[in-house]
Amino acid sequence: MTTRKRKSKVEYVNIPIPRPLYERLSKALENTGYRSVTEYIIFLIRKSLPDLESSDVRRRLKALGYLPEES
């Protein structure tokens, strides 16, 4: 009997964007290697999220008095 690790199924949500923007992005992504607009948007979010999260951490540390307030 062999045991295989099962990958947990990822749930997705829909995020509406204006159709003209979607169509523009779809056209711009042609021949770039991205398989879809969704794949590109996920790439952008993953790339930007650490910066957003670290900004939130800095804000919290300032509020707690661990970092000086900016002038």
Name the E strands within 1-64: none
Within a domain: 9? no
Token readout for 9 is: 């199924």
Within a domain: 31? yes
Within a domain: 5? no
Within a domain: 1? no
Within a domain: 25? yes
Q: Identify which has the larger pLDDT, 68 or 20.
A: 20
**Domain hosting residue 33, numbered range:** 19-63
Confidence (pLDDT) at 71: 54
Beta-carbon count within 10 A of 37 CB: 18
Confidence (pLDDT) at 65: 84
Please state the domain count of the chain. Answer: 1
Q: Which pTM value belongs to this model?
A: 0.65
Q: Identify which has the larger pLDDT, 21 or 59.
A: 21
2 pLDDT exceeds 70? no
pLDDT tens digits along 12-57: 999 999 999 999 999 999 999 999 999 999 999 999 888 878 877 8
Q: How far apart are CA 17 and CA 2, in angstroms?
A: 45
